[in-house]
Amino acid sequence: MINSLLCARNALLTFASQTLKQHPKRVTSAIAALLLGGGGGAFALASYAPDASELPVREVLESVQALPLNVASDALDVQAFKLFRSEVTRSSDTADTLLKRLGVDDEAAASFLRADATARQVLLGRSGRNVTAETSEHNSLLKLSARWSADSDGNFKRLVVEKTPQGFQSRIESAPLSASTRLASGTIQTSLFAATDDAKIPDSIATQVTEIFSGDIDFHRSLRKGDRFSVVYETLEGDGEPLRTGRVLSVEFVNGGKTFQAMWFQDPVAGSTPAADGASAADSRSKGGYYTLDGQSLRRAYLASPVEFSRITSGFKMRFHPLLHVWKAHQGVDYAAPTGTAVRSVGDGVVDFAGVQNGYGNVIILQHRNNYKTVYAHLSRINVHKGESVSQGQNIGAVGATGWATGPHLHFEYRINNVYHDPLTIARENNTVPLSASAKPAFARLASENRVALSAAATLQQTSAQ
């Protein structure tokens, strides 16, 4: 695998050309404005004329890899004789319902799909798989194909059902996924996930964003209407179809008027990056990580929140306002979440207490360095025992309503020398790890490319809002 620096740069370089190739009609002005400079990989934003032929496609070809010569006429010159149609499979599909939605009227094709074990297994009884049919002008099936990514080995599978002189035949092929870069942005009106839905950002990318800034922003408590974000992320595609979500390459989040920026960086000398098969798994195997654009690592000694921000926890409200909490002096933060939601250690430490205490119910108290302690109360489940070492992010228990709780929630406290402190302040005040001197030039180059990509992403929203 190529290192992430080259990977990110190539992804950005190929982005414009791939978009033009696959979706010539759907190129937005903002994406097309992301013009590439002659070879240095520098970006420039330029005014855009809506004629794709005027875009500097040739420069892209020289910088990266040759595209097929028929790029521009892709599928256009055969449309008089063949029809293409795509549909998404439904779990209730039979051979007949699927072919009908694909506009295929062909009894031989239907009986083949009913009888062929390979085609049945790939297409029927499962939802969400994209299928493309190629038919004659009389709606008989010439070819049918579907793609999916089953393993994290960097490849995807392709089912092809094809009409031959001997009748229909099916086969399964394997080919490498290709990484491409997507830009998106949004503004929060009601919730983060409503905004990412509007921007067509996958949940895994939204969750990565909240994790990247988890030392700076407590997404459970600090989100404001009008907060906005721009994100540049990887998708892994097969034949141009997005099949798997990769990692966030760079992101900007404006929270309460304060701007936070981050980018993925891996020291080019440090070794190879695994394919983006889930950022957290990749993080633990490589030396890459997220940095501010001026080179400060975002890895912190303490996370701001003991509950991962997700679609479920973001929409969950307590039945009673935290102020109605029956405790006289409520010194802590309450996170409303359904019973069973995972609770994680905010930092490395040792279990000081794990058991029942009156008002707390089931409670875990962790001892960290420098007389720091964290308290996790009202749990429905405890996964650790006294004296055990825990690491940051480890699942230590589950949200519940034990003790004096008015409904399921996590009561969380931060104590230094037994005095309560605001978790977010603690998370922010911890020093970060600086970049090594040898990595700085490569970092600076990637950072300047990411700045341009993020401003291009931000214009996407303005474009769509017009």
| Interface residues toward Zn ion, by CB under 5 A | 332, 334, 411
Q: Report which residue's Cβ sits closest to Zn ion.
A: 411
**Amino acid identity, residue 372?**
Y
CB of 315 to Zn ion, least distance (A): 20
CB of 42 to Zn ion, least distance (A): 52
Alpha helices by DSSP H, 94-238: 95-101, 107-115, 117-123, 192-198, 203-212
Of 182 and 325, the one with the shorter C-beta distance to Zn ion is 325
CB of 385 to Zn ion, least distance (A): 24
Of 182 and 411, the one with the shorter C-beta distance to Zn ion is 411
CB of 335 to Zn ion, least distance (A): 9
Backbone angles phi, psi at 170, to 5 degrees: -120, 150
| Residue 214 to residues 186, 254, 286, 318, 350, Cα–Cα distance (Å) | 19, 14, 20, 22, 22
CB of 193 to Zn ion, least distance (A): 25
Q: Is 374 helix (H, G, I), strand (E, B) or coil?
A: strand
Among the listed residues 105, 13, 24, 108, the one whose alpha carbon sits nearest the alpha carbon of residue 64:
13
Of 148 and 420, the one with the shorter C-beta distance to Zn ion is 420
| Residue 56 to residues 14, 27, 42, 48, 61, Cα–Cα distance (Å) | 12, 14, 14, 11, 9
Of 215 and 332, the one with the shorter C-beta distance to Zn ion is 332
Residue 270, both tokens:
């440090």
| Residue 383 to residues 162, 236, 397, 405, Cα–Cα distance (Å) | 53, 36, 5, 20
How far is CA 7 from its chain centroid?
A: 17
How far is CA 374 from its chain centroid?
A: 30
**Amino acid identity, residue 343?**
V
Of 244 and 325, the one with the shorter C-beta distance to Zn ion is 325
Among the listed residues 59, 6, 71, the one whose alpha carbon sits nearest the alpha carbon of residue 35:
59
CB of 402 to Zn ion, least distance (A): 13
Of 332 and 393, the one with the shorter C-beta distance to Zn ion is 332
Of 274 and 322, the one with the shorter C-beta distance to Zn ion is 322
CB of 361 to Zn ion, least distance (A): 11
Of 69 and 419, the one with the shorter C-beta distance to Zn ion is 419
CB of 316 to Zn ion, least distance (A): 15
Residue/partner pairs of 242-246 with CB below 8 Å, 24 or more apart = 243/147, 243/148, 243/149, 243/156, 243/177, 244/149, 244/156, 244/177, 244/276, 244/277, 245/202, 245/204, 245/205, 245/276, 246/179, 246/275, 246/276, 246/279
Of 147 and 411, the one with the shorter C-beta distance to Zn ion is 411
Residue 145: DSSP 8-state:
E
CB of 334 to Zn ion, least distance (A): 4
CB of 353 to Zn ion, least distance (A): 17
Separation of alpha carbons 337 and 309, rounded Å = 10
**Are 83 and 89 spatial neighbours (Cβ–Cβ below 8 Å)?**
no
Of 233 and 360, the one with the shorter C-beta distance to Zn ion is 360
